Amino acid sequence: MSSAFLKEGESGQLKDVAPNFGALLFFLRMENGGTVIRELKNYYSEKHGRDVYEMSDGLTYTLDDEGRWMIILD
């Protein structure tokens, strides 16, 4: 089983999600009790030097240098 897809009740961490947008969407949906989380905006951030994704859960996500998802806190 792919580490991007978890059975209900299994705990997972954002850093363990596969480095593709579909896997992020699936993870966020599972983390939010089945509520669909949508992409509001994506763009290249000069400040962070990478693509960032603003999501409907109020958080902004990006991939780190090792290809792991992380939340941008600023």
Task: Note the pLDDT of residue 74.
Answer: 80
Tell me if 6 is assigned to some domain. no
Distance between CA atoms of residues 14 and 47, nearest Å: 22
Encode the chain (74 residues) as per-residue pLDDT tens digits: 344 454 544 558 999 999 999 999 999 999 999 999 999 999 999 999 999 999 999 999 999 999 999 999 98
Distance between CA atoms of residues 21 and 27, nearest Å: 10
Tell me if 34 is assigned to some domain. yes
Among 6, 46, 47, smallest CA distance to 29 is for 6
pTM above 0.75, yes or no: yes
Tell me if 9 is assigned to some domain. no
Distance between CA atoms of residues 36 and 25, nearest Å: 8
Residue 56: which domain range? Answer: 14-72
The tally of domains found in the chain comes to 1
Distance between CA atoms of residues 9 and 46, nearest Å: 38
Tell me if 54 is assigned to some domain. yes
Among 52, 2, 51, 54, smallest CA distance to 26 is for 2
